[in-house]
Structure 1
Amino acid sequence: MKNLILVCIAAFALTSCFEDRDDTAVSGGDIKDFVWKGMNAVYVYKDNIADLSNDRFDSSETYSNYLNSFESPEELFESLIYEEQTIDEFSIIVPDYIQLEQVLQGTSLSNGMRFGLVRLPNETSDIIGYVRYVSPNTDAAASGVIRGMIFNRIDDTILTENNFSDLLSATTYTIGLADYDNGGTPDEREDDVISSNTTEITLTKAEFTENPILTHNILNISGSTIGYLMYNNFRIGDANLNELNAIFSEFQSAGVSDLVLDLRYNGGGSVSTAIWLSSMITGQLTGDVFFKQKWNSEIQASREQNDPASLESRFVDQMIKRDSDNNITYQQNINSLNLSKIYIITTGSSASASELVINGLIPHIDVVQIGGTTRGKPQASITIYDSPNLGRQNANPNHRYAMQPLIYESENANGFSEYYDGLGPSLGFSISENFDDLGELGNEEERLLAEAIADITGLSRAAITEQRPVKHFDHKRFEHPFIYDMFDDRPLIFNKLNP
C-alpha cells in the first residue's frame, strides 16, 4: 500500500506541485524546503491552507523569505496544519525517521507496562496511573506487574500533570503502588480516596517489538460458540499476518458463530491490514467496496482521470503484498467467517484503522459497538522523506527529518466519512471501563466482553446484573473532568499521533 501511494504521488502530484521551482538551495534550508514541498504535494487539506497553494510564491526569493520567517522546520510544519484542535491533530514531523519507522513497526524502548493516566478526584494537578495490560516477555511481566494495578509515584515523586512526561520517559524508573477506595459509590468519583502503599516495582525499558495480538480464545456459553480476539495494532509484518490468519482458521474449525473483536486500545496501523481483517470477518463480500479515498483536489482529479479504480478499496479473499517493482512478496488466502454480525469493543483510544474497520463494515453487516466513543480519525497518513519522490530511497543524507501527514479521508460505501468526534457505541451499549476494577481481558466476566456475551446468548440485562454488576454510562461519563489523556510508554514525540 505504501509503495502504491508513493507511485501515485510521484505520477500525479509532484509535476504540478514543483513547477517553476528550480533546484538551487534556498536560504531557508533544505529541511524547511522539504516540509513545504512535501505538504504541498500530498496533504489532504492542502485546499484549505492558503500558504500551500501552488501559486503562493511569485519568485524563488519570495519563497526563500517565507521559509526564513520560521525559526524551525517544526514551526513551519505546524503553521500548515488544518484546524489542529478539531480536524487534524494527527499529522506529525519527526527529526529522526529511524525512530519513527521502529515505532510504526511496533518496535520501541518499552518495559511492557501499558497504562492510562487519570486526574485524582478533588485535586488540581495530581494524577494516578493504572495498568491497562502488560505485554508478554517484558520486564513488567517478569516483575509481576498486572492489569489493574494503580500507581501514584515515580521514584518517590508524586505524579502530576507537570512532571509525568519526564518521569515516565526515563529508561529505568520505580513505580509506587497505591490503594483506591471508591467510598462505596462506584458511580461517583468525588468521594474517592487514593492512598500510597509500600509496594514498589522497578522497571527498565529495552528494545521490544510488540505482538499486536494480545490474547484470543473460544468461549462456549449457553449453546453459542463465541470467538474473542484482542487486537492492539494493525501490523503488516508477514509473521503478524500469518498469526492473524491462523486464528481465523482456528475460529473456523471451532465453528465460531459470533465474534467479539476487542479494539479498545488499538490506535490504528496499516490500512491494508484493516481491509484484510474485515475480509476475515466477512468473506461473502469479496469485490464489494470497503471504503473510498478522498484526497486533496489535485490528486483526486488526477486519479479520477487516470486510475479511478485506485480510489476504491474492496473486500478481498487474499492478502497480497508487492515490492516497489510490483513483484509479489507475500500472498495468503484469507480464512473467513462469513459473519453477518460482529461485536466490536472500543474506547477513546480506538482510532484510525480501528475506526476504518467499524465504518467500513457498517454498510454491509450488523456492527454492535460496545464501550466508549472512538478517537475520531477518518484519515490515513504515510511517512514521507526528503527525496525526489518522497520515498525512503535516495533520502537526503544530510538529515533524518520525516513527516507523517494525513493524505486522504476514507468514506464507507454509504458515503459517510467525517467522524471527527469519533464513532459512538451502539444504542444501549455505552459502557465504560472502571480503572479501579478493570477485570481480566478475555475473561467472560470482564465487563465489556460480558456485555457482548449477554447480547449474543440472549440473557437479559437483569440476569447479567445478578451474576456480575454492570454499570452503564453515557460515553460522556468516561470523559468527565477527572479523566486525563491516555498515555503509554511509546516515545513522547509520538503522543500527538497516538496518545
Structure 2
Amino acid sequence: MKKYLYLFFGATLLFTSCSSDDNEINNGPTPDPEPGADVTAQNFMWQAMNLWYFWQGDVEDLADDRFSTNAEYTAFLEANANAENFFYSICNRHEEIFGDDNAIDRFSFANDDYSELVSGLSGISQSNGVEFRLSLISGTENVFGYVLYIWPDSDASTKDIQRGEFFTRVDGTQLTINNYRNLLFGDNSTYTLGMATVTDNTISDSAKEVELTKIENQVEDPILIAETLDVNGTKVAYLMYNRFLSSFDEDLNAAFAKFVADGATELVLDMRYNPGGSVNTSRLLASMVYGTNTGEIYIKQRWNDKIQVQFSEEFLTDYFANSTGTSAINSLNLDRVFVIATGDSASASELVMNGLDPYIDVIHIGETTRGKNEFSITLVDDPENSFIYNSDREGNINAENSWGLQPLVGRNENADGFYDYTNGLAPDIALEEDLTNFGVLGDVNEPLLARALQEITGSSAKIDFTVEMPAESFTSSRLETPIKDNMYLEKPLQLNN
C-alpha cells in the first residue's frame, strides 16, 4: 500500500486530502517535556529536526536515544532559553556558529514568524525593485553598494537609477558593516540612496540622490530578458533568468517556443544572479534545453536514513519532462549550452547545470557558483502533520508557537550520481564582472555575454576582457530576504508503508 502526502517544500503550497493519521511519518517514541516547562519552541524544534534534518544521524544531540528520561530532555531544552540560538545549536556545525571555514550546514535557518517565512518563500515580498550587491571599502568598515538590475514595473523602474551605479549612503548616513541591515533591510519602507562614482578604483560620494519606496506584495518576473540574437548568421537564444518560480513556468515555456520559432541553434542561459527556487521548474528548464525523454533521469534525492526508507523509488527520482503539466514542453534539443553563472548562482541554478552535465556539454562562463546542493522544507508546530507546513491546516498549528524552520533535509544527485559541489561549480571560462565595465544586460558587448558569443562563433576578433575592478561582495539584496537561496520540491510525498 502506498500513502500520499503533500508537502510544502520551501515555497509552494500543496494540499492533501489524507487524514492526519495518514500524514504522520512513523518515527517511533519521542521524549516529552515535563508539564509546566517553558520550552514550547525548543521542543518543537528538537522534534522536527530529529525527524527531518539531513544530518540528524551526525548530530549527537538529535540522536533517537539521546535522552533516557523526560526530565533529562526537559533540562536540555531549558539550558538554552533563546529559541533561535537553540535551533543553531542542534544543527550540524552551522555557519552561524562556526563560520565559513568549519561550517557544514551553511543554509538552514529559523524565523520567529512562520507566516512571514511562508510569504517570502512564495516569492512575495516588499521591494522597491533594486537588486544590488554590497562590498566593503578597502581598509575600512564602510560599505558601498552597486546596482545589478532593476525590476520592471517596480518603484525603481520609474526612478533615475540603473545597472552599474554605486551608492554609499542611506538617508544621509554612511553605510557600514554594522548598520547596513537596519538601513537597507529594516522597517523603513521609503529611503533615499546617496549615489557615488568610481574613478581610478576610488569611490567618491556624489550629489545625486534617489528616493525609493518598497511596494507590498511584489513578485518579480524571473524572465528579465528572452531574445534571439543573430550573431554572424548564427541564431543564439539568450535567456536572463533570475529565479525558479513555478508561477512563471508557462511564461518560460513560451519563451522557448519563441526561441524554437526563431530557429535558435545555440543558447546562452544567464543565471549569474539566480539564487534558486523550485526543483520542478529546474527540471522543466533543463527539458527545454536538452529534450523531453521522460525515461532519462534528471536528478535523484537523498534524505536522512530514517526518512529515505519511507519513500518510494518513484518519489525519489525525477525524470526529464515532456509537459509543464499544462502544455507540451518546447525544447531546443541542444547538445551544448553556455551558462553564465557566478557566486550568486545557487541551488536550482546549480541543479540545472549538474542535471544536464551527464547528457550535454555545459560550458560555464563566469565564476565559481555558491555551492548549495541541498534542499529544504518549511516546518511548523503541527506534529499531527509531521511538522510540515500546509495552509489548509493553519488551525492545527500551535497558536502558542509561531516559529517556522527552514532546515536542509536532503541532497540532489545527477544521473551519474554526482552531488559533491559544496565548494561550488568551477567555471570552464573564468571571467568576473567588472565594476568599471558592467555593460548592459542582453547587449552583445556586455562582457560575459560577449565572451559566450565569442566561444559560440569562434571569432578571432581581439576583445579586451581585462577586469580592472572585480565585482566582489559580502552579501546581496537577494540574500537578505526570507527566500534567500532556497531550493524546494513540488510534488506529493509518496510513502512505501
**Could you tell me which residue of structure 1 aligns to residue 490 of structure 2?**
none
Closer/same/farther in 2, CA of residues 464 and 397 from structure 1, 3 Å limit: farther
Instruction: Within 5 Å, give how 1:19-38 maps onto structure 2.
Output: 19-21=29-31, 27-38=37-48
Among 114, 117, 129, which residue is 1:100 paired with?
Answer: 117
Residue 39 of structure 1 aligns with an amino acid whose one-letter code is M
Secondary structure in 2 matching 1:265: coil
Secondary structure in 1 matching 2:411: strand
Distance 1:165 1:44 in 2: 30
**Could you tell me which residue of structure 1 aligns to residue 313 of structure 2?**
308
Instruction: Within 5 Å, give how 1:462-477 maps onto structure 2.
Output: 463-465=461-463, 469-471=464-466
Residue 215 of structure 2 aligns with an amino acid whose one-letter code is A
Give the conservation status (yes or no) of the 8 Å contact 1:371–1:425.
yes
Give the conservation status (yes or no) of the 8 Å contact 1:487–1:495.
no
Deviates more, 1:349-358 or 1:62-71: 62-71
Instruction: Within 5 Å, give how 1:331-370 maps onto structure 2.
Output: 331-370=326-365
**Could you tell me which residue of structure 1 aligns to residue 412 of structure 2?**
410
Secondary structure in 1 matching 2:365: strand
**Could you tell me which residue of structure 2 aligns to residue 151 of structure 1?**
167
**Could you tell me which residue of structure 1 aligns to residue 494 of structure 2?**
none
Q: Structure 1, residues 198-226: CA drift from partner, whole Å, max 9, x if none?
A: 11111111111111111111101111101
Q: Does 1:289 align with 2:305?
A: no
Closer/same/farther in 2, CA of residues 294 and 372 from structure 1, 3 Å limit: same
Closer/same/farther in 2, CA of residues 486 and 223 from structure 1, 3 Å limit: same
For structure 2, the residue ranges without an aligned partner over 5 or more in a row are 10-15, 96-102, 488-497
Q: Structure 1, residues 431-464: CA drift from partner, whole Å, max 9, x if none?
A: 001123211111111111111111111112xx14
Q: Structure 1, residues 214-266: CA drift from partner, whole Å, max 9, x if none?
A: 111110111110111111111012xx111111101111111111111111111
Among 9, 14, 32, which residue is 2:25 paired with?
Answer: 14
Q: Structure 1, residues 395-428: CA drift from partner, whole Å, max 9, x if none?
A: 22233211111111111111111211100101xx
Among 195, 212, 220, which residue is 1:177 paired with?
Answer: 195
Distance 1:73 1:220 in 2: 56
Residue 127 of structure 1 aligns with an amino acid whose one-letter code is V
**Could you tell me which residue of structure 1 aligns to residue 491 of structure 2?**
none
**Could you tell me which residue of structure 1 aligns to residue 212 of structure 2?**
203
Distance 1:43 1:156 in 2: 44
Closer/same/farther in 2, CA of residues 243 and 11 from structure 1, 3 Å limit: same
Secondary structure in 2 matching 1:422: coil
Distance 1:495 1:334 in 2: 28
Of all paired residues, the percent bearing the same amino acid is 38
Give the conservation status (yes or no) of the 8 Å contact 1:275–1:357.
yes
Distance 1:492 1:174 in 2: 20
Deviation at 1:310, TM superposition (A): 2.0
Deviation at 1:300, TM superposition (A): 1.8
Question: So what's the TM-score if we normalise by structure 1?
Answer: 0.87
Count of matched residue pairs: 459
**Could you tell me which residue of structure 1 aligns to residue 324 of structure 2?**
319
**Could you tell me which residue of structure 2 aligns to residue 377 of structure 1?**
372
Give the conservation status (yes or no) of the 8 Å contact 1:287–1:316.
no
Among 241, 258, 264, which residue is 2:249 paired with?
Answer: 241
Among 251, 259, 270, which residue is 2:267 paired with?
Answer: 259
Question: So what's the TM-score if we normalise by structure 2?
Answer: 0.87
Instruction: Within 5 Å, give how 1:118-157 maps onto structure 2.
Output: 118-121=135-138, 123-157=139-173
Distance 2:287 2:169 in 1: 45
Give the conservation status (yes or no) of the 8 Å contact 1:128–1:159.
yes
Closer/same/farther in 2, CA of residues 493 and 269 from structure 1, 3 Å limit: closer
Distance 1:10 1:254 in 2: 53
Among 471, 475, 479, which residue is 1:486 paired with?
Answer: 475
- Higher relative contact order, chain-length normalized (CA < 8 Å, sep 6+): 2
Deviation at 1:119, TM superposition (A): 1.7
